[in-house]
Amino acid sequence: MNPAVDETLTVHRLEVGETNRILETEFDPGGKGLNVSRVVDRLGRPTTAIVMLGGETGQFIRSRLQREDVDLEVIQLDCPTRINISILDESAGIQTNLNHEGAPIESTDLDALESAIRKWTSEARVMVFGGSLPPGAPAGTYRRMIDCVRDTDTICVLDTSGEALVEGIKARPYLIKPNREEIEEISGVEVESIDDAVAAAGDLLAQGIGEVVVSLGRDGAVAVTDEGAWRAIPPDVEVRSTIGAGDSMVAGLAIGLAEMLGTAQGLILGTAASTATVMTPGTDLCRPEDVQLLLDQVIVEKIA
């Protein structure tokens, strides 16, 4: 719902208040839903991204996705799609993100989105709702959209944060994937250990969620269902950028759900895709050959 053109600027050392020389610039389509579709496509599965685009920046995203052979269902907006800027300080290995709120939308845009979602439920095995909400979208927007899918066979995945996540959970999507900070925010409990993550996820299961996957950065991830809990330990790799890592995990989890691989295998695929993405620079996403190589290196163990 709130895509972006992601611009990554690389500098040798970021000096605040001074003139900085840019060593390298990279432009990529951005936004959780778009990234999920791009990764699903790279992993050889069919996908369609339902996306709200406007202006020349929206046209850039449309052109890039067409070049990548990712199918699009576009809701055309009057305002241009936002640009997000990431500044990578090479000397310190620190990345600073500057994100716009996004193009404002109207109630008619939400109606068009709902119509598109209803149309695709007859074909979609899994539908992922992801990202921040743009200005003009009520906090309950994802709840409304997931409710559209309630009486179908489509499995719903929600990956957002804040009030959008709190409200979206009320629609009882099958799977949610909060990170450490997001699950702390909605649960009010500090997640300092794997046991804390499992306990917080268990509380969300009680609200009608079928599976909760908590991503924990270098500590991997935990997946919790009514049948138990699993921990994924990623292989140790050089981290070049974390942008898109969570979206890549969601893509792997979505494939696991679509192909009924089971919790452990879905978690392995999601962790491999996420790890492969952190190996790429800037806003680039995983390479399929890296994902394939990492699959056998992800350790998944049942912990509860």
* Alpha carbon distance 287, 43 (integer Å): 9
The overall pTM is greater than 0.95: no
For residue 12, give the 3-state DSSP assignment. Answer: coil
Each domain of the chain, given as residue ranges in start order, spans 31-81+104-302
| CA 162 vs CA 114, 169, 183, 187, 210: distances in Å | 22, 11, 9, 11, 20
247 in catalytic set? yes
Q: Which member of 111, 247, 290, 296 is catalytic?
A: 247
Yes or no: domain 31-81+104-302 corresponds to CATH 3.40.1190.20: yes
Q: Would the pLDDT of 238 be above 80?
A: yes
Which residue reads 């917080």 in tokens? 200
pLDDT band at 281 (very low <50, low <70, confident <90, very high): confident
Q: Would the pLDDT of 229 be above 90?
A: yes
* Alpha carbon distance 153, 23 (integer Å): 49
Query: Average pLDDT in the 104-111 region?
Result: 95
pLDDT band at 230 (very low <50, low <70, confident <90, very high): very high
What percentage of the chain exceeds 70 in pLDDT? Answer: 100
Q: What is the pLDDT of residue 204?
A: 93
* Alpha carbon distance 65, 84 (integer Å): 18
Q: What is the pLDDT of residue 64?
A: 94
* Alpha carbon distance 73, 57 (integer Å): 16
Q: Would the pLDDT of 304 be above 80?
A: no
Q: What is the pLDDT of residues 182-228, one digit of tens each?
A: 999 988 889 999 999 999 999 999 999 999 999 998 889 999 999 99
What is the torsion angle, in degrees rounded to the nearest 10, for the CA atoms of residue 68, residue 73, residue 76 and residue 81?
Answer: -40
Q: Would the pLDDT of 14 be above 80?
A: yes
